[in-house]
Amino acid sequence: MIKKIYKQLVPEKVRNEIRFGLQKLVSPIYYGNQNTCNCCNKSFRKFLPKGNIKRDNAKCPNCGSLERTRLLHLYLKNETDIFNKPLKVLHFAPERCIFNILKELDIEYIDGDIDPANARNSIDITNIQYPDAYFNLIICSHVLGHVQDEAKAIRELKRVLKNDGIALIMTLINVDAQETFEDKTIVSAKERLRQYGESNLLRLHGLDFADRLRMHGFIVECIDYTKQLSQEICIRNSLGDGRRELIFKCSNKTIES
């Protein structure tokens, strides 16, 4: 009852800030030397568990980064020009830890979400209100599994991407399934959790995810970036098992890796 009243009285954006503030307040009790978060540059004796089926050593106690966000930050820093060129960047459902880094850069940084509580700009990924070929870089991590019309969203991402730009797309992948599983009769949160592994997913992508992107015109390279990093970095930063961390590098024309 108290939780319900709290949600009714306190706006979601404020609740998010309170939750994050409390998280940072207690984070010092986890300080140590076992793991390092490359997003906030703090070290801990361990990361926190995360997920409906708990993943050990997943969440940074300070900034809340997950395995996939730490990997994404490393990729952005090492493999893109975002930190040294004035790019136009579109970032959907911005992870707070990545947002706090990118908003300080000398770039045109547009963070967006359909829920205004989660970003500074309210943007529908199926109807992006920007001109054709506008952005140099698009970041879209763990969004497409939650979008009703996935095909339309992919076409919009392709439309607003410059011809020489790249879109970095990530999603939860069932590495044991060749095809994406999607059943539109599954509507309850409880059944979605049982079938897809998350209560707000509308589909569980399989190994055909790259083909689903190619179907709408993207040229796609699937990157397991952990293979390009040392084992020491992967373990110290806890970069995941590949189910959430594969990067699908998309472009409108052939790009160099």
In this structure, which topology does domain 67-251 adopt according to CATH?
Rossmann fold (3.40.50)
E strands, the chain, are: 31-37, 42-44, 48-50, 55-59, 88-92, 108-113, 121-122, 135-141, 161-170, 219-223, 247-251
Residue 198, CA distances (Å) to 15, 109, 172, 193 in order: 22, 29, 10, 4
Q: What is the pLDDT of residue 4?
A: 67
The number of beta carbons lying within 10 Å of the beta carbon of residue 131 is: 9
pLDDT band at 5 (very low <50, low <70, confident <90, very high): low
42-44 and 31-37 strand pairing? antiparallel
pLDDT digits (tens, 9 = 90+) for 150-172: 999 999 999 999 999 999 999 99
Residue 138 has pLDDT above 60, yes or no: yes
Show contacts of 125-130: CB within 8 Å, 24+ apart. 125/92, 125/153, 125/156, 125/157, 126/152, 126/153, 126/156, 127/156, 128/90, 128/156, 128/157, 128/159, 128/160, 130/90, 130/160
Residue 8 has pLDDT above 80, yes or no: no
Q: Which of 199, 82, 100, 201 is nearest to 142 (CA)?
A: 201
What distance lies between CA 67 and its chain's CA centroid? Answer: 10
Mean pLDDT of 96-123: 96
Query: DSSP letter at 94?
Result: -
Residue 256 has pLDDT above 70, yes or no: no
pLDDT digits (tens, 9 = 90+) for 216-247: 999 999 999 999 999 999 999 999 999 999 99
Residue 124 has pLDDT above 80, yes or no: yes
pLDDT band at 12 (very low <50, low <70, confident <90, very high): low
88-92 and 55-59 strand pairing? unpaired
Query: DSSP letter at 143?
Result: -
257 compared with 252, residue with greater pLDDT: 252
Q: CA angle, corner 27, sides to 25 and 33, nearest 5? A: 150
Q: How far apart are CA 79 and CA 100, in angstroms?
A: 19
Q: What amino acid occupies position 104?
A: E
Q: What amino acid occupies position 78?
A: N
Mean pLDDT of 173-177: 95
Residue 86 has pLDDT above 70, yes or no: yes
Q: What is the pLDDT of residue 2?
A: 65
Q: Which of 197, 6, 208, 170 is nearest to 91 (CA)?
A: 170
Mean pLDDT, the chain, whole residue set:
93
Residue 108, CA distances (Å) to 98, 102, 135 in order: 15, 10, 9
